[in-house]
Structure 1
């Protein structure tokens, strides 16, 4: 019997929903590029469209795991030495966590988890796991690559338009009973004709570029590996060798790069010196890509006209985090990749990975981050151990 320790975000404050706004969600069978969506062998323990990413939802895993005699522990209590997560970690064989409510698997925690064999991310992004320590201890790290990439890309487009068109303050005026049109439009612009750039054009960054092309904007990108010529021609992309070159040219900047030691605090005071005055910055990648206080200073000085994102550090962010109250922000909790549609895919992918793990079958290479003591699959293309 194995112990599976699953850390998920808390249930809705109003209680687990008895009904949903929609009866169904679209059935997606493949991602752009042809990768198939998760294909577990057994039945799902949920109906697609249900809230399975919270504690009561349990990712729909309980029927499958208990049928095999495994123990499932689900909690949202993840921080501190006395947390339920730490109490169960010592004898857990599998840890499941989410980027939205990460259980940080530090080197110290991995060293204490003597039985741990699999660290599974329900979603995309395994930087809450110390990958070097996982490799050193023989722990496999896996995630459901692509499961919520388009979900995040849609969220980026929403945030771009919300900032540029000044939607959030205008909505608040209406909600408060006002009709202050001059106040609504005093910071409202058209996106058309602006220069939009993404720092990293992987699955999410490229999806954002494709979705913004119909808005008649000038598209820019930078990343380590240049896109194919035909992609650049199709989208009319301008390639930049460095992030500094891109931010100097763009009105709207989108951060999609993974978090490495080399990208931590990429947007600091020095980087903001290169940014055009009145630019907008969107960050749905990782909060630590930005120097927290440098962002606040850039907004207060007018260097940035707006900042939006759903990633913070730490997560959940403390109540006094300055990004909650800084001017001209469009921040949300980390939700972009956890729509009900995305949950159906990453929960199904979690089940698929667990089936492979318990049956001794290979996990899809596109799901693997660390395996056999080294970066593997998608991990070898997306992460660094130092």
Structure 2
């Protein structure tokens, strides 16, 4: 069986092990693949694996030999899953590979927005403390999380872990999801409508998938419905947020701060409005990037391939569950 990874460089710059996938077939790894290179590189591949390389309907003629597509991530908006379903090609993603990693990154962004540790460290190193002549000073007033309300939009594995961390910091937790079930044991907690999330949350953290329904979920209207001085976190997908509307809310003070690990275009253009917005933390899509999480992606992808070979594919996102390696 021939297995091709189209864009392996970011997932594995050399510090994790392709071995679990290599053990399943003849593996070829490309650092990255452009549209013009796709047909040649997919030729003869039975299993095609990609992280962010787009596989659209007009790419299907280049996938003549492909019998399974694996997404080396949880989000699969880069793949036309319906077009592949028409060809009876299952698309399998990986889930829960970095739950702790992403939740911890979200909390790191929140704590930095509340405590301003980097700003004060830079200030001390620049000599401000020495010049102040006092035992204490602050450039921005710290904010304590205890007693505030965390609103979670999306309550899968990462959203649930984010709720646990928020609770550990003394926060009240509200959560919105499509099918509320299994409420956590801690209190205070409640499932809530989006309207209630916007109206009652001091911090809103996004953990939902990007769909046509959730694109620009955070927009001028929803921002206006939020509490004045609230904080927005996004470790999910950039297009969940209307970035121009968020930038305006930051400039006006409607938002106290924004912490995001994702943007609508990655890498961003210089005209992205968030790059110059005040009170904004932007990290380059690295919440998932610990060695542990990246190795988990490889291990879980290998398991996806093994199950597909056995005729019982798992983590299928396009409904094709009845095919096996031919």
- Per-residue CA deviations over 1:59-87 (Å, capped at 9, x if unaligned) read 6336853x666241322244xx44x4465
1:173 paired with 2:129, answer: no
Q: 1:111 to 1:215 in 2, by over 3 A?
A: same
- Per-residue CA deviations over 1:272-295 (Å, capped at 9, x if unaligned) read 110111110000111111112111
Which aligned pairs between 1:285-304 and structure 2 lie closer than 5 A?
285-304=236-255
Deviation at 1:270, TM superposition (A): 1.1
Q: 1:71 to 1:161 in 2, by over 3 A?
A: closer
* Structure 2 partner of 1:109: 59
TM-score, normalisation: structure 1: 0.74
2:186 partner SS: helix
1:245 partner SS: helix
* Structure 2 partner of 1:252: 203
* Structure 2 partner of 1:72: 28
Distance 2:67 2:125 in 1: 51
Deviation at 1:227, TM superposition (A): 2.9
Count how many residue pairs are aligned between Structure 1 and Structure 2. Answer: 317
Q: 1:2 to 1:171 in 2, by over 3 A?
A: same
* Structure 2 partner of 1:239: 191
Comparing 285-294 with 109-118, which one deviates more in the overlay?
109-118
Q: 1:133 to 1:72 in 2, by over 3 A?
A: same
1:143 paired with 2:97, answer: no
Q: 1:349 to 1:279 in 2, by over 3 A?
A: same
Q: 1:172 to 1:128 in 2, by over 3 A?
A: farther
Which aligned pairs between 1:315-330 and structure 2 lie closer than 5 A?
315-330=266-281
- Per-residue CA deviations over 1:309-353 (Å, capped at 9, x if unaligned) read 211222233354333332111110111112111112111112222
Deviation at 1:203, TM superposition (A): 0.9
* Structure 2 partner of 1:95: 48
1:281 partner SS: strand
Distance 2:157 2:149 in 1: 20
Deviation at 1:91, TM superposition (A): 5.0
TM-score, normalisation: structure 2: 0.87
Which aligned pairs between 1:41-56 and structure 2 lie closer than 5 A?
53-56=11-14
Deviation at 1:94, TM superposition (A): 2.5
Q: 1:268 to 1:141 in 2, by over 3 A?
A: same
* Structure 1 partner of 2:147: 193
* Structure 2 partner of 1:21: none
Which aligned pairs between 1:361-376 and structure 2 lie closer than 5 A?
361-363=311-313, 365=314, 367-372=315-320
Distance 2:7 2:149 in 1: 40
2:102 partner SS: helix
Deviation at 1:104, TM superposition (A): 1.8
1:261 paired with 2:261, answer: no
Distance 1:146 1:118 in 2: 21
- Per-residue CA deviations over 1:145-166 (Å, capped at 9, x if unaligned) read 2111221111111111111222
1:343 paired with 2:301, answer: no
Deviation at 1:197, TM superposition (A): 0.8
Q: List gaps (5 residues or longer) in structure 2.
A: none
Deviation at 1:177, TM superposition (A): 4.8
* Structure 2 partner of 1:8: 8
Q: 1:191 to 1:361 in 2, by over 3 A?
A: same
Distance 2:28 2:211 in 1: 32
Deviation at 1:307, TM superposition (A): 0.7
Q: 1:77 to 1:183 in 2, by over 3 A?
A: farther
Match 1:161 to one of 88, 92, 111 = 111
CA contact (8 A) 1:92 1:115 kept: yes
- Per-residue CA deviations over 1:117-148 (Å, capped at 9, x if unaligned) read 22212232222212222212222111222111
Q: 1:54 to 1:214 in 2, by over 3 A?
A: same
Runs of 4+ in structure 1 over 6 Å off = none
